[in-house]
Every structure is written in structure tokens, then in C-alpha cells.
Amino acid sequence: MLAYRRGEAGAFEALYARHKGPLYRFVLRSVKERALAEELYQEIWMRVIESRGRYAVQAKFTNWLYTIAHHRLADHWRKRGLQLVDAQGADAVGHRSFEPEPRAEGRQDLQRLAAALAALPELQRETFLLHEEAGMTLAEIAAATGATVEATKSRLRYALARLREALGDG
């Protein structure tokens, strides 16, 4: 990011290539609508580009990127008047955007897992996705989401319990 800030366009391309998939999936599985996810995803990168001048090496780029993403999603939820996802809404059209493909795990298990993920409360799902997609530690997730480590740990624990249950392992 510092190289990009100095004017090396190639540095951004390398960053983008490394983070685009995880960030895209994080957004897509957070909002559950592909068109909206693409819009938010682009806005997050635009904020990264616009904020490059303010980037300081205080944390990993990943943490900075997902902090921006968290704020953008929080804005989105606030505008929609949502703090926590409605469990009933998990079966709505939204989660078709990441319909699982048939794999060795078994189609039904994956469908249940996808439905359980979509049904998670927003903060739990966000914590789980930051953990799985961004590979962030509890402390990093806590910093990015403005929560305490204990609260983050609790959210992740609840999320994992529900997902395990969906896989028939609860």
C-alpha cells in the first residue's frame, strides 16, 4: 500500500489480486444480494483508493481494508434499519447468490450450511467471515469492528455452534 501511495500503480494491482476474492465473498455473504454486493465491493475499493494518502503502517493492510469494509457495511445496515439479521429472512431470495455447488461434502449439508450462514445475526456472520475469509485473529477482528476481544470471541463461538449444527455435527 505504501508503494501504491508513492505512485506505483503496479503495487495496487498486486494488493487487489491478493484480496479481491476474500473481500468479494465477505461482502457477498454479508448482504446476500449479488448486485448490491458488487456495488458495496466497488465502493470499498474506491475508499481504499481515495484514502491511500492517509494510509499509515499501524496494522496490516488486511486489517485496514476490512475496517473500511466493516464501516461500509455498517452504513448499509444502518440505512436499511438493520442491526441484526432476521432469522426468517435467511430463507429469502438473497442467499441464492452463493448457492453451494455440489461437492464431496454433500449437497444437502452445504445447502444447510449456506442457509445457516445467511441466517446468522449480522455481527456473528461478520465475525465468522472475517475469520474465514480474511484470516484475521480475534484481536484484529475486534479492532476492525470496534468490539472487544471478548465480545468478538463470543460472536465467533455462537456462529460456529450454529454452523456446526447445520452440518449435523451439533
Residue with cell 494488493: 15
Among 40, 73, 85, 138, binds other proteins (CB under 8 A): 138
When binding is defined by CB under 8 A, the residue of 31, 136, 142, 143 that contacts other proteins is 136
- To other proteins, the closest distance from the beta carbon of 143 in angstroms equals 13
**Which residues, 41 to 80, sit near other proteins by CB under 8 A?**
41-42, 45-46, 49, 52
Burial 109-121 (b: 16+ CB within 10 A, else e): ebebbbebbbbbb
52, 117, 49, 123: which is closest to 89 by C-alpha?
117
90: enclosing H helix or E strand: none
Please say which residue, 8 or 75, places its beta carbon nearer to other proteins.
8
What are the angstrom distances between the C-alpha of 104 and each of 5, 101, 107, 108, 170?
Answer: 44, 10, 8, 11, 20
Residues 98-127 close enough to bind other proteins by CB under 8 A = 98, 100-101, 103-105, 109-110, 113-114, 117
| Beta-carbon count within 10 A of 24 CB | 17
Q: Which of 115, 95, 129, 116 is nearest to 21 (CA)?
A: 129
- Count of residues in contact with other proteins, rule CB under 8 A: 43
* List of residues contacting other proteins (CB under 8 A): 4, 7, 9, 12-13, 16, 20-21, 24-25, 28, 38, 41-42, 45-46, 49, 52, 98, 100-101, 103-105, 109-110, 113-114, 117, 131-132, 135-138, 153, 156-157, 160, 163-164, 167, 169
